[in-house]
Chains A and B, each alone.
Chain A
Amino acid sequence: MKTIHALLAAALGALALAAPAAAADRSPEPHQFSFDGPFGSYDRAAVQRGFQVYMEVCSACHGMEHMRFRHLGDRGGPFEEVPIGGEMVRFDNPNDNPVVMAIAAEYMIDGEPDEFGDVNERPRIPADPFPYPYDNVQQGRAANAGAYPPDLSVITKARYGGAEYIRSLMLGYDYEPPADLELRAGNYYNPYMYGSVIAMPPQLQDGLISYEDGTEATAEQMAEDVAHFFAWASDPHMESRKSMGLMVMIYLIILAGLLFATYRQVWSKIEH
């Protein structure tokens, strides 16, 4: 038993060592998400609303390079089950999912060259990527006064604080900047940002969009939903991971018990 304590202590010590020094003025506000904890899962409705916020607000400037429309209908995705004729239908292959197909088809993409070598636009299919706002990094920089809006595919994994950070950042524009801080034009004070100065203007205001499911679109609600959406997009297999983890843990604990019994049995006649 001493060994286990030692191992755990060493592991925790290692974690403490890896923790970074905070350079923002404020740590993200704690917030309870449905996916927190070892049994937490994504709230499909929240992810759907967050996707709407992303598409209608964020996607004007931020791309999600690694996302495909089919991911929305994958196992664990927001549109895995969709209502058809008043019934919830599950599609194992997101390609056959009419809601995912309809969402994808709203956006155009350059198709394969035709027989004359001309490239024509066609509606997107589930296998296609989310539309990207820029053709290249330079264009993105030029369009945003030199600050390239980061890709959001894995944003909650790429920032300490994850979804709480996103939510806090989106709502973090109301603080009074310190008196000695000189903000250049096009910069904003946001204490949750690394360095506390951000080039993104405040985005969310009450009633900015109207949710398809009728939820009231307060800034608070949108920030929470979009954080929820990014958490799912960054870690789409979280639910499978946690449920498999539970099985593995139960198995390992049983196996440890059996092996300990075997060990005791084998050593029962030996002084050691």
Chain B
Amino acid sequence: MSGPSTYEPKTGVTRWLDSRMPIVRLGWDSFVDFPTPRNLNYWYTFGGILSVCLVIQIVTGIVLAMHYVPHVDMAFASVQRIDRDVNYGWLIRSIHAVGASMFFLAVYMHIFRGLYYGSYKAPRELLWILGVVIYLLMMAAAFMGYVLPWGQMSYWGAMVITNLFGALPVIGQPVVEWLWGGFSVGNETLNRFFSLHYLIPFLIAGVVGLHIWALHVPGNNNPTGISVKTKADTLPFHPYYTTKDGFGIVLFFIIFAFFVFYWPDALGHADNYIPADPLVTPSHIVPEWYLLPFYAILRAVPNTLGGVVLMFGAIGVLFILPWLDTSKVRSMRYRPLARWFFGFFVIACLGLGWAGAENPDYPVPGLGAIGVDFLLMGRVLTIYYFAYFLVILPVLGFVEKPKARPASIEAAVLEEAAARKGRASKAAQPAPAE
């Protein structure tokens, strides 16, 4: 897809630079003149939104590290000092904390979009796998970052998650002590988590570079899932998608700012404003909302090791997804059965999140009468989660009859435009804004 470069250096300086290190050419070909399908919808703005999220987290994180003290006796107090005394510290910490949630919100949109439009299918398998690597790194960074304020949830979250590795046979206990740097979660653990929490975002930035590289070889997928065939199927990235992404980013910022300024603690847990106490366990330990579905999968299995294997398997299965989906058609727009199963899959993920947040022994509201508690709900949804990838997608490719697809992206766009115009003329009024 990346054809011959259209960049022409115009000044002496750019000509000089271009023959030595064609960095301007790279930027031009990647973000200015990059041919992009003309039918991308707003679900495709989340890539740009995620880049912005990463930059926000890195910039605010570097600033917070200037004031934060990674020591068990001072961590909580240093966070309080950031909130109370550092100039705009309350703002920067709030952006960083809310930003983590916003990052995951955007990445989930991005992932579900990829699942729906078949963006993981050939020739974009590597692009997808790199994305899953980024997601794993994000979870590691988020988990370690949540430990740093050294509140009750920080401490006990670190305790529960690190102890999971203790379920490994034979090497379990040595591995856990290696992670802790001691015989319990303590100062050593906090220090190494701080160091790694600072490192991982830069690893993410590196993998994002690879992710974009892997994107720019085959080019973007699009809502029709049909490959680009002619020039008429595409538009240059700038100004068409810079403006569309820019608008999407600002809409995203409005939600972001709402939480930062009006509800900064809504996405966190009140117990994390209680300093860590190794003697008192909070009554109800839960991870942050974005990890709840995995927590539900973990608890769905009575055996700890089995739960850990299944939890990591839930992410592991994403790595082989490109080869599990046997359908020839990428986009679920043209897959009448698959889109239903996809819809249930989204509901299953939300339901797993709900089950992860609740006490497993509590009855599910409305279903308690027939004996459904959150444990059972978590188990059923876990089965569906794995069945979606391991049974439904492989089988559907053989049994499903796809709908007729347009000849090209251009044809699809013109067809839709014609339909829109038809609707507009029927409503005997001037055409409303799109």
Set of chain B residues within 8 Å of A237, measured between Cβ atoms = 83-84, 90
Identify the closest chain A residue to B265 (Cβ). Answer: A157
Does B54 make an interface contact (CB < 8 A)? no
- Known contacts A11-B255, A18-B289, A270-B235; is-contact A241 B250 (Cβ 8 Å): no
B371 CB, nearest partner CB in chain A, Å: 19
Count A interface residues, CB 8 Å: 56
Q: Within A145-175, which residues are at the interface with B (CB < 8 Å)?
A: 150-151, 153-154, 157-160
B345 CB, nearest partner CB in chain A, Å: 15
Q: Within B236-294, which residues are at the interface with A (CB < 8 Å)?
A: 239-240, 243-244, 246-248, 250-255, 257-258, 260-262, 264-267, 269-271, 273-275, 283-284, 286, 288-290, 292
Identify the closest chain A residue to B358 (Cβ). Answer: A21
Identify the closest chain A residue to B266 (Cβ). Answer: A15
Does A185 make an interface contact (CB < 8 A)? no
Identify the closest chain A residue to B409 (Cβ). Answer: A272
Set of chain B residues within 8 Å of A71, measured between Cβ atoms = 84
Does B183 make an interface contact (CB < 8 A)? no
- Known contacts A71-B84, A248-B257; is-contact A151 B275 (Cβ 8 Å): yes
**Interface 9-mer from B173-181, B318-326, B349-357, B387-395:** B349-357
Taking a contact as CB atoms under 8 Å apart, the answer to whether A4 and B251 are in contact is: yes
Taking a contact as CB atoms under 8 Å apart, the answer to whether B270 and A14 are in contact is: no
How far is B275's CA from A158's CA once the two chains are assembled, in angstroms?
Answer: 10
Taking a contact as CB atoms under 8 Å apart, the answer to whether A249 and B254 are in contact is: yes
Taking a contact as CB atoms under 8 Å apart, the answer to whether B267 and A18 are in contact is: yes
How far is B91's CA from A66's CA once the two chains are assembled, in angstroms?
Answer: 18
Taking a contact as CB atoms under 8 Å apart, the answer to whether B105 and A14 are in contact is: yes
How far is B90's CA from A237's CA once the two chains are assembled, in angstroms?
Answer: 7
Which residues of A come within 8 Å of B, CB atoms? 2-4, 6-8, 10-11, 13-21, 23, 38, 65-66, 71, 150-151, 153-154, 157-160, 194-195, 234, 236-237, 240-242, 244-246, 248-249, 252-253, 255-256, 259-260, 262-263, 266-267, 270-272
Set of chain B residues within 8 Å of A154, measured between Cβ atoms = 80, 273
Q: Within B401-426, which residues are at the interface with A (CB < 8 Å)?
A: 413-414, 417
Taking a contact as CB atoms under 8 Å apart, the answer to whether B105 and A17 are in contact is: no
Taking a contact as CB atoms under 8 Å apart, the answer to whether B255 and A21 are in contact is: no
Taking a contact as CB atoms under 8 Å apart, the answer to whether A11 and B105 are in contact is: yes
How far is B354's CA from A153's CA once the two chains are assembled, in angstroms?
Answer: 32
Set of chain B residues within 8 Å of A195, measured between Cβ atoms = 283
How far is B262's CA from A252's CA once the two chains are assembled, in angstroms?
Answer: 15
How far is B77's CA from A84's CA once the two chains are assembled, in angstroms?
Answer: 35
Q: Within B4-18, which residues are at the interface with A (CB < 8 Å)?
A: none
- Known contacts A21-B284, A271-B414; is-contact A244 B261 (Cβ 8 Å): yes
How far is B84's CA from A241's CA once the two chains are assembled, in angstroms?
Answer: 12
Q: By DSSP majority rule, is chain A's interface helix, strand, loop, or mixed?
A: helix
* Contact among A3, A10, A242, A266 for B251, CB-based, below 8 A: A3
How far is B253's CA from A84's CA once the two chains are assembled, in angstroms?
Answer: 45
A62 CB, nearest partner CB in chain B, Å: 14
Does B192 make an interface contact (CB < 8 A)? no
Taking a contact as CB atoms under 8 Å apart, the answer to whether B353 and A17 are in contact is: yes
Which 8 A-B residue pairs are closest in the complex by CB-CB distance? A245-B261, A158-B273, A3-B42, A263-B243, A66-B80, A157-B273, A259-B247, A237-B90
How far is B261's CA from A246's CA once the two chains are assembled, in angstroms?
Answer: 8
Does B213 make an interface contact (CB < 8 A)? no
Does B339 make an interface contact (CB < 8 A)? no
Taking a contact as CB atoms under 8 Å apart, the answer to whether A21 and B362 are in contact is: yes
Taking a contact as CB atoms under 8 Å apart, the answer to whether A242 and B262 are in contact is: yes
Does B43 make an interface contact (CB < 8 A)? yes
How far is B254's CA from A159's CA once the two chains are assembled, in angstroms?
Answer: 28
Taking a contact as CB atoms under 8 Å apart, the answer to whether B274 and A150 are in contact is: yes
Which residues of B come within 8 Å of A, CB atoms? 38-39, 42-43, 45, 77, 80-81, 83-84, 90-91, 94, 101, 105, 108-109, 235, 239-240, 243-244, 246-248, 250-255, 257-258, 260-262, 264-267, 269-271, 273-275, 283-284, 286, 288-290, 292, 350, 353-354, 356-359, 362, 413-414, 417
Other than the given A249-B258, A249-B261, A270-B240, 19 more pairs (CB < 8 A) read A3-B248, A4-B251, A14-B101, A14-B289, A17-B350, A18-B267, A18-B289, A18-B292, A150-B274, A157-B273, A158-B274, A245-B257, A248-B261, A252-B257, A262-B247, A266-B243, A267-B240, A267-B244, A272-B38
Set of chain A residues within 8 Å of B90, measured between Cβ atoms = 237, 240-241
- Known contacts A14-B353, A21-B362, A158-B273; is-contact A252 B42 (Cβ 8 Å): no
Set of chain A residues within 8 Å of B350, measured between Cβ atoms = 13, 17
Identify the closest chain B residue to A263 (Cβ). Answer: B243
Set of chain A residues within 8 Å of B356, measured between Cβ atoms = 17
How far is B89's CA from A240's CA once the two chains are assembled, in angstroms?
Answer: 12
Set of chain B residues within 8 Å of A160, measured between Cβ atoms = 270
* Contact among B235, B267, B274, B359 for A14, CB-based, below 8 A: B267
How far is B289's CA from A7's CA once the two chains are assembled, in angstroms?
Answer: 15
Taking a contact as CB atoms under 8 Å apart, the answer to whether B254 and A10 are in contact is: no
How far is B262's CA from A13's CA once the two chains are assembled, in angstroms?
Answer: 18
How far is B261's CA from A267's CA once the two chains are assembled, in angstroms?
Answer: 34
How far is B378's CA from A17's CA once the two chains are assembled, in angstroms?
Answer: 14
Taking a contact as CB atoms under 8 Å apart, the answer to whether A271 and B413 are in contact is: yes
Taking a contact as CB atoms under 8 Å apart, the answer to whether A272 and B109 are in contact is: no
Taking a contact as CB atoms under 8 Å apart, the answer to whether A21 and B359 are in contact is: yes
Identify the closest chain B residue to A251 (Cβ). Answer: B257
